[in-house]
Amino acid sequence: MKIEKNSVVAIDYTLKDDAGETLDSSAGQEPLHYMHGHNNIVDGLEKALDGKDVGDKLTVTVTPKDGYGERDEKKILKVESSALPKEMAPEIGMQVAAEGPSGDVVPLWITAVEGASVTLDGNHPMAGKTLHFTVEVKSIRAASEEELNHGHVHGPGGAH
Ligand code: ZN
């Protein structure tokens, strides 16, 4: 069985930046499970995995355009900490969910805390970075009907 739309795929992966610094890795953990063709993973990596088989190993370079996007300085805003949820003690690296103009949920990351002033950044922390993946395909199966309805993987390595 080769990877195609609606395949549930498990991969071992390591993600490095241009400097060879490891940004993320499944080493020592469960492989990453995702549903192919549902934007569960970045575009460039998904495209490279299309048609691959169990045991295939690949190295994939993903440009920001096919990764987490280019950085956009307009997505950075400063707010008073009182504008954040009351129970929240803001810390750098925390993620906050905000409501976008069309009612959709937009993730923001806290990038600075200075007194009562908090800087929120709508850029993904990996935006603007070229991503270097090394990937091994561990398993491939067809998605269940329930998984197809939800657009993500259930069971080990998945949601719920
Ligand atoms: Zn679900």
Q: How far is the CA of 158 from the centre of ligand 1 (A)?
A: 8
Distances (CA, A) of 38 to 42, 56, 88, 141, 153: 10, 21, 32, 15, 10
Q: How far is the CA of 81 from the centre of ligand 1 (A)?
A: 33
- What pLDDT shows up at residue 103? 86
Contacts of 101 (CB under 8 A, 6+ apart): none
- 3-state class of 91 per DSSP? coil
CATH class of 73-121: mainly beta
- pLDDT tens for each residue of 24-74: 999 999 999 999 999 999 999 999 999 999 999 999 999 999 999 999 999
Is the pLDDT score of 158 beyond 90?
no
Is pTM beyond 0.85? Reply is no
Q: How far is the CA of 159 from the centre of ligand 1 (A)?
A: 6
How far is 116 from 111, CA to CA, in rounded Å?
A: 14
In the structure, ligand 1 is a single-atom ion and the residues with CB under 5 Å from it are 150, 159
CATH class of 7-68+126-150: alpha beta
- pLDDT tens for each residue of 104-126: 888 999 999 999 999 999 999 89
Residue 30 or 100, more confident? 30
Domain ranges of the chain: 7-68+126-150, 73-121
- What pLDDT shows up at residue 102? 86
